[in-house]
């Protein structure tokens, strides 16, 4: 099945996700537009990516199942909160991270970050999956399962065009 923003969000909601926070990226425009219009979930916009992880962590402790949305350039902004809050307190969240600079084809400001995104996550000890058109359901299920088992953040990297 081909997923668009709306059916993708539906899939997340079926998995129990009910809270979203994040900073926009052009790759995530469709998802965020849907979320703002969706009365069945809470979407709290954020001024920075680490703030979004902080907000999501509060929501988790208050019983929500949160997602954080960000551009991969925001991973750097989030390293401190991930290492000194999420990982040590074991506070999970599903992180939907758009992957600008994938394979070196993008604007100059995205090239280095695009190249090192996976490395950053590996070094920080944050598990990640790469979303492809063909594996969307599998990736969501696997990421949610791992997130619940380990009780830590799990990243799904989203390249441009994967969500049709």
Nearer to other proteins, 29 or 84 (CB): 84
Instruction: Give the Cβ contact number of residue 94 at 10 Å.
Output: 23
DSSP assignments along 128-161, one per residue: EEEE-TTSHHHHHHHHHHHHHHHTS-EEEEE-TT
Smallest gap, in angstroms, from Cβ of residue 69 to other proteins?
14
Is 21 or 114 the residue whose CB approaches other proteins more closely?
Answer: 21
Whether the Cβ atoms of residue 143 and residue 136 lie closer than 8 Å to each other: no
Q: Which is nearer to other proteins, 26 or 84 (CB)?
A: 84
* Closest distance to other proteins from the beta carbon of 16 (Å): 14
| Whole-Å CA distances, 152 to 46, 51, 88, 93, 161 | 21, 17, 9, 7, 28
Binding site for other proteins (CB under 8 A): 19, 21, 42, 44-48, 50-51, 53-64, 66, 80-81, 83-85, 88-91
Q: Is the Cβ of residue 14 or residue 83 nearer to other proteins in the bound state?
A: 83
Cα 124 from chain centroid (whole Å): 16
Nearest-approach distance from CB 140 to other proteins, in angstroms: 22
Q: Report, in Å, the least distance between residue 24 CB and other proteins.
A: 14
């Amino acid at each position: 099945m081909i997923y668009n923003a709306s059916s993708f969000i539906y899939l997340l909601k079926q998995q129990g996700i009910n809270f979203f926070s994040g900073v926009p990226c052009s790759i995530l425009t469709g998802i965020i537009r849907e979320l703002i219009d969706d009365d069945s979930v809470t979407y709290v916009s954020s001024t920075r990516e680490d703030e979004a992880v902080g907000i999501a962590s509060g929501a988790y402790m208050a019983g929500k199942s949160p997602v954080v949305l960000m551009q991969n350039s925001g991973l750097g902004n989030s390293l401190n909160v991930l290492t000194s809050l999420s990982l040590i307190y074991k506070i999970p969240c599903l992180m939907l991270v758009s992957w600008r600079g994938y394979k070196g084809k993008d604007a100059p400001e995205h090239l280095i970050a695009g190249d090192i995104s996976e490395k950053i996550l590996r070094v920080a000890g944050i598990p990640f999956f790469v979303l492809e058109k063909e594996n969307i359901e599998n990736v969501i299920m696997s990421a949610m399962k791992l997130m619940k088992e380990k009780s830590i953040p799990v990243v799904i990297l989203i390249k441009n065009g994967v969500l049709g």
